[in-house]
Chain A
Amino acid sequence: MDAVTSNFDLFLKGFGYTLFLFLISGLLSLVLGTLLVACRVGPVAVLRWAGGWYVTLVRSTPLVVVFAFFQFAAPMLGIRFGWVDVHIGAFDFTSFFAIAVVALTLYTSCFVCEALRSGVNAVPLGQAEAARAIGLTFGGTMSQVILPQAFRASVPPLASVLIALIKNTSVAFIFGVGEAVAQMRIMTNNHSSERTTIFLAYAAGYILIVFVFSFLANRLERHWRVA
C-alpha cells in the first residue's frame, strides 16, 4: 500500500487527466454526435448517406487504430496542435492531450449518434400520428411531442456511451498522455513487488468514477422517465 499512499499526488494527477479527457471529449462528442444524428434523420439525402458511412466506418475501427491514424494523418492535412500549450496548476495540456481529445471525440460521437437515433426510434408512431391529427405543424410535432420523448428515451444509452468513454480515455496512455493507466505503469515499474495493490487502487479509482456517473445518470433517468 506504501507505493500508492506515498505517491498519492501522482495517483490523483493521473485521474485528473482522465477526468479532463472525459469531460472535454464527452462534451465535444455530444455536440458532434447531435450534428451527425441531424444529418442522419434529416431530409437531405447526401448528408444522410455521408453520416451513415462515417458512423459505419469509424465505429467498426478499433479506437487505437483511430488514434494512430489521426496521429499520423493530421500533420499531413495541416492539422497541428503545437499551439496547444496550457498549464493549469499541476496539469500540462499539450499537443498529445489535444490529439487524444480529437481522436476520442471522433470515435465517441458515432456512438452518441446511434444512441440519439435509437431514442428517436423509441417514440411510438401513434404519438406522431396523434400530434398531426390535432393539427400540429412539423415544427410543433417535433418540438412539443417527439423530441422531448426522444431525448428522455436516449438517456440510458447515452449514459452507457459516456461510461464507455470514461474507460476509453485509458487508450490515451498509449499515445503519451500521463493519465491514470500511464501513472499505474510508472508506479508498477518503480514498486514491482506491490503491483497487485497498485492495480486494485487504480481499478478502484475507475470504479468510483464510473459508479458516481452511473448513479447520476440513473437519477436523471428516473426523474425523466416517460410514463
Chain B
Amino acid sequence: MSASVLFDSPGPRTVARHRAYSVVAAVLIVVAVAWAVKGFYDHGQFAYDKWEAFTTPSYVQALLVDGLLQTLLMAVLAIAGALVMGTVLGLGKLSDHRWVRWPAAAIVEFFRATPVLLLMIFIWYALGIKEDSSGFLAVVFALTLYNGSVLAEVLRAGINAVPKGQSEAAYAIGMRKSQVMSIVLVPQAVKIMFPAMIAQCIVALKDTALGAAVLAPGLMRVGKAIYTELHNQVPTMAVVALLYIVVNLLLLWLATWAQKKYVGEKKLQVAMVGTMDTGRGV
C-alpha cells in the first residue's frame, strides 16, 4: 500500500520534523556501528594476520572448492531429490483413492513438523557415524525429506490455485484424470509455484549449514578448520556468512524475476507452506 493515501503530503513543518528524526536516527546508527567496530578493533580483529587467510590462494581455494562447492552440491542434490519426492507426494495427496491420499498426507505432515536437525542426526547415526561419507549423505537425505514434503504441499496448493474452469473444461472435452493433470493442471501450476520453489531452494541452502552438527563437509567445516588453526573466529564467520548471503541474494533476485515474469500480480495463497518472501518456512 502506498503511504501517500494514508496522509496528506507533508507540509514544511512536518518535513523539518522528519529531517530531525532522520538526523537523530543516523547519529544513533553511526554510534552503534562505531561501538561495534571499536569493540572488534580493541580485540585486534582488524589486524592483517586475522584476515591474511582470505587473501592467501590456498585458503581461498579451500573455502570455495571444499566449502562453497560442497555446500552447493549438497543443496542441489537435496533439491533434486525433493522435487521428485514433492511431485510424488503432492500428486498422492490429490489422489481420489483414500489409500493413496492418507499415507501421502501422513508422510508430509510427519516430515514437515520434525526439525531437520533431529532427522539429520538420526540418519547420521543410522548410516554409521564412523563412515566418512555419512555426514554428507545425512545432510542430503534429511534436506530431501523435509523439503520434499514442503514442496508436496506447494504443489498441491499450486494445483488448487489453477482456476476451476480449467479442469472442468478439460473433463468436458473428454480427458481422463491423468490427462487433465499432466496436460492442463500441472503445467499451469508449475508456473504459479516457481517463486515458492526458488524460495524453498534458499531454505535448503541455508539448512546445509546444520551439517556442522553431523561433521558434514561444506562451508561450516572449512570455516571451523580455518579458525581453529588461525584463531580468527569473527573474520571467518563473517566471510562464511557473506558467501551464504551472496548466493542467497542471487536466488532471491531470481525468485523476484520469476515472480514478475511468470506470475504477475496473481498471488499464490499457500498458508503454512514454505515460501520465504512472505516470511514463511524460516
Question: Measuring CB to CB, which residues of chain A are less than 8 angstroms from any residue of chain B?
Answer: 41, 43-47, 50, 56-57, 59-66, 68-69, 72-73, 76-78, 107-108, 111-115, 118, 120-121, 123, 125, 128-129, 132, 138, 141-142, 146, 156-161, 163-165, 167-168, 170-171, 173-174, 180-181, 184-185, 188, 192, 195-196, 199, 202-203, 206-207, 210-211, 214
Contact = CB atoms under 8 A, between A and B. Distances in A.
A50 B28 CA distance: 11
Interface of B: 1-3, 5-7, 10, 18, 21-22, 25-26, 29, 35-36, 39-40, 42-43, 45, 109-110, 113-119, 121-122, 125-126, 202, 206-210, 212-213, 220, 233-234, 237-238, 240-241, 244-245, 248-249, 252, 271-273, 276-282
A47 B248 CA distance: 24
B39 A60 contact: no
20 contacts: A47-B25, A62-B207, A62-B244, A64-B209, A72-B234, A73-B237, A77-B36, A114-B279, A118-B279, A120-B1, A158-B279, A160-B272, A160-B281, A161-B279, A196-B126, A199-B122, A203-B118, A206-B115, A210-B113, A211-B113
Contacts of B119: 203
For the complex of A and B, the 3 pairs showing the least CB-CB separation, nearest first, are A62-B209, A164-B282, A114-B279
A61 B279 contact: no
Nearest to B126: A195
Given A56-B249, A76-B43, A115-B278, A41 B3 contact: yes
Contact of B117 (A65, A69, A141, A181): A181
A84 B220 CA distance: 29
A111 B25 contact: no
A64 B116 CA distance: 13
Contacts of A61: 206, 241, 244-245
A181 B22 contact: no
A123 B202 CA distance: 28
B5 to A, nearest CB: 4
Contact of B233 (A72, A113, A121, A207): A72
Consensus secondary structure, chain B interface? helix
Contact of B25 (A44, A132, A142, A168): A44
Contacts of B45: 76
* Residue of A73, A202, A207 ringed by the most chain B CB atoms within 10 A: A73
Contact of A138 (B6, B121, B271): B6
Contacts of A185: 121
A62 B117 contact: no
B165 to A, nearest CB: 25
B149 to A, nearest CB: 12
A121 B113 contact: no
A65 B222 CA distance: 13
Nearest to A174: B213
B272 A165 contact: no
A48 B273 CA distance: 28
B237 A167 contact: no
* Residue of A62, A128, A180 ringed by the most chain B CB atoms within 10 A: A62
Contact of A184 (B118, B249, B272, B277): B118
A22 B282 CA distance: 14
B20 to A, nearest CB: 10
Contacts of A78: 39
A123 B210 CA distance: 37
A121 B278 CA distance: 11
Contacts of B43: 76
A195 B125 contact: yes
Contacts of A59: 276, 282
Contacts of A65: 209, 220, 237, 240-241, 244
B18 A111 contact: no
Contacts of A163: 272
A215 B118 CA distance: 23
A132 B245 contact: no
Contacts of B42: 76
B241 A50 contact: no
Nearest to B40: A76
A161 B110 CA distance: 18
Given A61-B245, A62-B207, A64-B210, A161 B280 contact: yes
B131 to A, nearest CB: 15
Contacts of A129: 5
B110 A207 contact: yes
